Structure 1
Amino acid sequence: MRSFADLDHSIGHVPGTIVAALRTVDVGRGSEALYRDQLPGLLSHLANRARVTSITASSAIEGIVVADHARADRILAGRVTNLRNRSEQELAGYRDAQDYLFQQPWQPLNPGLLLHLHKLLFMHTASQGGRFKSEDNLVVDRAPSGELTVRFRTVRASETQFFVAELIDRYLAEMATDRHHPVLLVGLFALDLLVVHPFEDGNGRVTRAVTNALLMEAGYSVSRYISLEQQIAASADDYYQALLDSTHGWHDGRANPWPWLSYFVDILATAYRTFAERAAYDRADGSKQERVRDYVLNHAPDTFRMADIRTALPGISDPTIRVVLDRLRRAGSIASEGLGRAASWRRMPTDHFSRPPG
């Protein structure tokens, strides 16, 4: 709610790095329809894999892990009725919440939707879900010594219902005006919902699930095929730090949303890049990949960049080039130097990758 009080002030001037990431996101969004028409088999495979990965990763962020992977797969497939412990029960609950949003039309965003997701989350446990918190709560860190440190102060229990309703109303109103980028609005909604912390438990999982749904509703469906939760789990420290940095001064309307939005948009941009690379891998013309491989191994300078390959091989897409570079890197034929757009590649001496180990 607080983040939506004065959007022209808070997100009216988007930092250049985020503008660039949003451009990647929008280009990726524009490719989704093409992939759906041309690669239905690949998308079905990716969707099935992303469903499993998202459920297990989002649960693992909260310490909910089923160590027996085969049994976890059976739980996610709905083939286990006797859930043995709390972790299995909560894994099944997140499965139900995720499937509710992804596998059928869901009711419009309102407090009832959040309560229903929370109810599904705890449907298989002895805890009663589907209710807003009745006592004030804090978000804390527990040190190995047992000492607790307050990360941020949430909204009081007595004000939770009002804050949730107000947040949803403001979000929907701003989406309708089409004045700000929808991805930024979804990111702000997630930030505010996490600060409100409307439930005694399950806030992170409900927020991550509804964030995926809101992105899809806004036309950004990559989370159906590439797990955002897996990326968050892999960068958990950055995730929590970005949230913390954007909560300072939230209650007074002085919070800086950009640390969180930068993280959020980058996660989404990375997902779209991964999506494009997997689509390119599936549909790439083998002769084009072979042309890239031949150029890199036999004609490129010892140290080269993506721009060199683009110039030498016009008409071959960046995702196709990246597929070949990644294969050659894993084979030990080339090595990368630097990161991002400044990255260069170095061809390794023949004896480096042809000599048998030992």
Structure 2
Amino acid sequence: MKSFADLDGLIGRVPGRIVTQLGTIDFGRGSEALYRDQMPGLLMELSDRARVQSITASSAIEGVVVPDVSRAERIINRLTTVLRSRSEQELAGYRDAQDYLFREDWRPVNTGLLLHLHKLLFAHTASPGGVFKAEDDLVVDRLPDGSSQVRFKPVPAARTPFAVTDLIDRYRDAIGAGEHHSVLLAGLFILDILDIHPFEDGNGRIARAITNALLMDQGYSVGRYVSLEQSVAESADAYYQALLDSTHGWHAGEADPWPWLGYFTRLIADAYGVFADRAAAAKTPGTKQERIRAHILSHAPATFRLAEVRAAVPGVSDQTIRIVLEQLKSERRVQPDGTGRGATWTRLPNSLASE
């Protein structure tokens, strides 16, 4: 499609900061095999955790939220089949789409795959899934005063099937040619599929799901262990701004891809950094309590949540983390801010511990 019409002209000269990020990404990919051989248990734990985070976060970006966290996890883990609301139905749908990509042999990417993922996304609802949009649409922004403005005009409905097929063919040809970095090609594919906007609803979720698939297909499996969707949710403003900056002039073939590709490569490079940190934490000598303590005092943000400690120090239980927090609280090294699941903890200055 548009981004693949002249790849040499569009991405033939890669900005230095993105070259650096691609280097980090390639180094991270090279480490994956080592972790798989040496730490299979850790990777299984990280995979289970990332799966829940990805399904929850990608849905929440679109306003699909199940407020009861424990119930949401039961739905994601297929421990309940009774879906009480539209949000629960769509959460289960994204679960099915994500699981299909991670567990089934879908390769190579093709039009049928996109339609099947969309069908899975809405399979638990009354909305039709697995079909391209029937009417032209607009991507609009809702402003604080209640008004709206057109952000982008996607490809017309009548041209959507051709546009999707053309994009897939060009992407596969570019991957086969091997003349450009596959991560950049995956980023351009996502940019174009969002600009085509092939479905009436669910375009963002399909794009985020297929991101993991394209990266895994090229050997970049970090999305299996660190939730890219969670990172997108935490940087939603930057995500949407980067997309907006790279859609200006897209129909005329004059768009600048680097705002989006900069965000995209940084997202993946940061995920590999998190992956390496978690693997290093699991290899750190000492008891589980010592590892938790070291993380809280030396690596955690000044204010943090128990869940963030759990994510950073794999293989430890919430009860063990609470024991360490209580110890540090008695030493006046941390203090709680609130109670319950959403409570935060603040690390105190060292001077308070010695008073």
Give the TM interval when normalised to the shorter protein.
0.7 to 0.9
CA distance in 2, matches of 1:78, 1:29: 31
Say whether residues 1:326 and 2:268 are aligned partners: no
Structure 2 unmatched runs, 5+:
304-327, 334-347
Distance 1:350 1:82, change over 3 A: closer
Q: Is contact 1:277–1:323 with CA below 8 Å preserved after alignment?
A: no
Task: Determine the structure 1 residue equivalent to 2:133.
Answer: 133
Q: Which runs of 5+ in 1 are unaligned?
A: 294-320, 334-347
Match of 1:17 in 2: 17
Matched, 1:213 2:217: no
Counterpart CA distance in 1 for 2:128 and 2:198 is: 14
Amino acid at match of 2:351: D
Aligned residue for 1:65, secondary structure, equals coil
Q: Which residue of 2 aligns with 1:228?
A: 228
Supply the distance in 2 between the matched residues of 1:61 and 1:72 (Cα, whole angstroms): 15
CA contact (8 A) 1:53 1:227 kept: yes
Q: Map 1:23-62 to 2 at 5 A.
A: 23-62=23-62
Question: What is the CA deviation profile of residues 33-52 of structure 1, one whole-angstrom value per residue up to 9, with x for unaligned ones?
Answer: 00000011100000000000
Q: Distance in 1 between matches of 2:297 and 2:15?
A: 33
8 Å contact kept, 1:191–1:243:
yes
The question of 1:101 aligning with 2:101 is answered yes
TM-score, normalised to structure 1's length? 0.83
SS in 2 for 1:207: helix
SS in structure 2 at match of 1:201: coil
Q: Deviations over 1:104-160 (max 9, x none)?
A: 222421110000000000000000100000000111111233211111110000000
Indicate the RMSD between aligned Cα atoms, in angstroms.
2.1
Distance 1:51 1:59 in 2: 12
Alpha-carbon displacement from aligned partner over 1:151-179 (angstroms, at most 9, x marks no partner): 11100000000000000000000000110
Aligned residue for 1:173?
173
Which stretches of structure 1, 4 residues or more, deviate above 4 A after TM superposition? 321-324, 327-333
SS at match of 2:244: helix
d(CA) in 2 for partners of 1:3, 1:276: 32
> Which whole-Å CA distance do the structure 1 matches of 2:207 and 2:351 have between them?
52
Q: Could you tell me how far apart the structure 2 residues matched to 1:144 and 1:232 are?
A: 22
CA contact (8 A) 1:97 1:121 kept: yes
Larger radius of gyration: 1
Provide the aligned length of Structure 1 versus Structure 2.
310
| Residue 251 (structure 1) shift | 0.1
Matched residues in 2 for 1:121 and 1:100: separation?
Answer: 11
SS in 2 for 1:108: coil
Bigger Cα displacement from structure 2, 322-331 vs 84-93: 322-331
Please report the TM-score for the alignment, with normalisation by the length of structure 2: 0.83
- Distance (whole Å) between structure 2 residues aligned to residue 106 and residue 284 of structure 1: 38
Distance 1:323 1:272 in 2: 21
The 1-side partners of 2:118 and 2:110 are apart by: 13
SS state at 1:179 partner: coil
Query: Residue 337 of structure 2 aligns with which residue?
Result: none
